[in-house]
């Protein structure tokens, strides 16, 4: 597949996924970037934390294994009947590194849930014991919780022992820690029971990146970064939104206050360039209007002189032809001037009730004998009243000239995404005339363009009405569309933004 096709598909995919506004897009990208960075950083940190915890646990397990091997050798050196006496004396003295007991057989230990770090410690301690005590037949090792941990063959448990025997050796308050139990068979029928905490009793929490305190810290840092990112994005895009609103208002002919030259250097340069462009366009429009007025005034004098000289011609037919040409030239000059004036009506926008505006036109048309169908809609739009009336009036007059019957409808069309700011009002004017050839639809907006049937039915027209109407509608931020109706006739559709 060509690279351009992939690029086009990628662009369309991004357009569908990303929200439409610059503020929302930058916010999404910033949030996505922060989340990805936090995720990758968290994964790297978790991997390092797990590796560190495994190394520390392995070192601690080796030391614990060597200590347990030394204790086992010590008790093996004692006579079997003397071991319980020594164990009791050590308990009364305050205990040792291990809780020690002598049993006649191995005890059943309920191990904790399987965890890779605990299994690694058990494996390391077992390997150290086998290395230090190769002559012993075997060992039984497991981590167990102290709440239900048996310590002797008669069913005695850790919780049944005096606190002085097990406090800080097997029990830690308020949160218990897993206890490592080592059972070794010294002689047949004589088992040595060793139980102890790891140097770091809560070593199993060391490789857990999702502990509550760490999650809280990560959440606070993430929320802080996201909040700062959103504030920076809003601070960056707010001047652009103001520039966009100013450009849209200026394009509709509204009075726009000067943009504040504050903010970043790039925005200040853009604001100055926009202000300079606006002044140039205003000067151009003023010059154009003065030019048309001057041309109209200057042409009227020679046209009038030519008409007077035409009256001196003796040939009546030639005089009539001259008069016809001069009248047509006079109408073209007046039409050009009228086109400029109608497209540039200086007035403020206000709330316009469409029903009242259209019904006034319909009342005059019905008094003249025309058949017009209209159903009230109750809709209003923000528009320049005289300009909008001129645009609708031009289309309505065309429909009356070229069709035997006219239908007008007004309806509200919801925008995409359910946002009311995207809603629009459609004003459709349909005549029941002959319609327009499809190839000629686009050319109807050009000045002085008239079709054959238009010249016959509206001899006084100049072909400027549609262009004037489209310019007015576009100045309101809308569109004017022309299309042939399936049942005959032409449909003119004015689309205006509701908000």
Domain edges within the chain: 50-205, 265-340, 347-497
pLDDT the model gives residue 386? 84
End-to-end CA, the chain: 44
Query: Is the backbone peptide bond immediately before 174 cis, with ω within 30 degrees of 0?
Result: yes
Q: In what order do the strands lie in the sheet with 99-103?
A: 99-103, 190-196, 179-187, 139-144
Q: How far apart are CA 225 and CA 232, in angstroms?
A: 10
Q: How far apart are CA 492 and CA 490, in angstroms?
A: 7
Q: In what order do the strands lie in the sheet with 424-431?
A: 371-374, 405-413, 424-431, 490-497, 479-484
pLDDT averaged over 10-residue windows placed end to end, the chain, 499 residues = 60 68 73 79 78 86 91 89 85 76 90 88 92 88 90 86 79 84 90 89 69 72 79 77 77 70 76 83 75 68 76 77 74 62 64 89 85 88 86 87 85 69 85 80 68 52 71 85 86 86
Question: What is the fold, at CATH topology level, of the domain defined by 265-340?
Answer: Helix Hairpins (1.10.287)
Selection from 101, 177, 92, 175 nearest residue 143 by Cα: 177
Selection from 225, 173, 164 nearest residue 201 by Cα: 173
Within 8 A by CB and 6+ apart from 346, the residues are: 253
Q: How far apart are CA 60 and CA 336, in angstroms?
A: 97
pLDDT the model gives residue 143? 92
Question: What is the fold, at CATH topology level, of the domain defined by 347-497?
Answer: Heat Shock Protein 90 (3.30.565)
Q: How far apart are CA 127 and CA 147, in angstroms?
A: 28
Pairing of strands 405-413, 380-383: unpaired
pLDDT the model gives residue 11? 66
């Amino acid at each position: 597949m060509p690279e351009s096709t992939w690029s086009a598909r990628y662009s369309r995919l991004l357009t569908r996924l990303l929200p439409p506004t610059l503020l929302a897009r930058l916010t999404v990208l910033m949030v996505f970037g922060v989340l990805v960075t936090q995720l990758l950083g968290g994964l790297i940190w978790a991997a390092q934390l797990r590796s560190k915890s495994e190394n520390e646990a392995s070192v601690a397990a080796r030391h614990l294994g060597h200590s347990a091997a030394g204790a086992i050798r010590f008790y093996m050196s004692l006579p079997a009947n003397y071991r319980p006496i020594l164990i009791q004396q050590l308990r009364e003295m305050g205990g040792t590194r291990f809780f020690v007991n002598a049993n006649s057989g191995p005890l059943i230990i309920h191990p904790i849930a399987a965890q890779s770090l605990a299994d690694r410690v058990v494996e390391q301690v077992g390997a150290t014991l086998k290395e230090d005590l190769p002559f012993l037949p075997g060992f039984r090792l497991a981590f167990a919780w102290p709440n239900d941990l048996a310590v002797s063959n008669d069913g005695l448990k850790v919780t049944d022992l005096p606190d002085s025997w097990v406090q800080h050796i097997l029990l830690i308050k308020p949160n218990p820690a897993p206890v490592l139990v080592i059972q070794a068979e010294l002689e047949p029928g004589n088992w040595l029971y060793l139980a102890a905490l790891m140097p770091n009793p809560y070593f199993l929490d060391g490789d857990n990146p999702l502990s509550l305190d760490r999650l809280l810290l990560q959440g606070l840092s993430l929320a802080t970064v996201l909040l700062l990112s959103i504030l920076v994005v809003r601070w960056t895009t707010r001047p652009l939104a103001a520039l966009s609103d100013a450009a849209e208002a200026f394009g509709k002919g509204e009075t726009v206050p000067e943009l504040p030259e504050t903010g970043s250097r790039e925005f200040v340069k853009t604001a100055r360039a926009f202000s300079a462009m606006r002044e140039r366009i205003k000067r151009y429009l003023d010059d154009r209007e003065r030019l048309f007025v001057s041309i109209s005034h200057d042409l009227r004098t020679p046209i009038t002189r030519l008409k007077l000289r035409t009256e001196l011609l003796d040939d009546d037919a030639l005089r009539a032809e001259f008069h016809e040409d001069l009248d047509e030239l006079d109408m073209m000059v007046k039409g050009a001037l009228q086109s400029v004036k109608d497209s540039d009506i200086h007035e403020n926008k206000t709330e316009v009730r469409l029903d009242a505006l259209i019904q006034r036109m319909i009342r005059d048309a019905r008094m003249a004998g025309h058949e017009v169908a209209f159903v009230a809609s109750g809709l209003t739009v923000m528009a320049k009243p005289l300009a909008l009336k001129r645009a609708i009036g031009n289309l309505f007059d065309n429909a009356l000239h070229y069709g035997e019957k006219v239908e007008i409808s007004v309806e509200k069309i919801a925008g995409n995404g359910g946002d009311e700011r995207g809603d629009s009002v459609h004003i459709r004017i349909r005549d029941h005339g002959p319609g327009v050839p499809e190839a000629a639809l686009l050319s109807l907006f050009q000045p002085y363009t008239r079709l054959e049937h238009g010249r016959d039915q509206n001899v006084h027209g100049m072909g400027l009405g549609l262009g004037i109407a489209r310019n007015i509608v576009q100045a309101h931020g809308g569109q004017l569309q022309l299309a042939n109706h399936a049942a005959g006739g032409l449909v003119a559709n004015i689309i205006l933004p509701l908000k």
